[in-house]
Amino acid sequence: MKDKYQTIFQYQSVMAWVRSLLNDGIITQSEYNKIDTNIAKRYGISSCSIFR
């Protein structure tokens, strides 16, 4: 179970950085959505997960 928590933490860490890019205007909302989908797939996070 520890691996799952670590995976969720890593996903959240990456997405926090991506959100900062969005907030700074470096990427668009559309790009953010695409990145979110790809990162979630990479870390095995379901699209209906509460962690997304």
Could you report the per-residue pLDDT of 2-52, keeping only the tens digit for each?
A: 698 899 999 999 999 999 999 999 999 999 999 999 999 999 988 777 566
The whole-angstrom separation of Cα 34 and Cα 31 is: 5
Q: Do 45 and 11 contact (CB within 8 A), yes or no?
A: yes
Residue whose entry in the numeric block shows the structure tokens 């790809």: 38
Tokens of 11: 């996903």
pTM of the predicted model as reported, rounded to 2 decimal places: 0.82
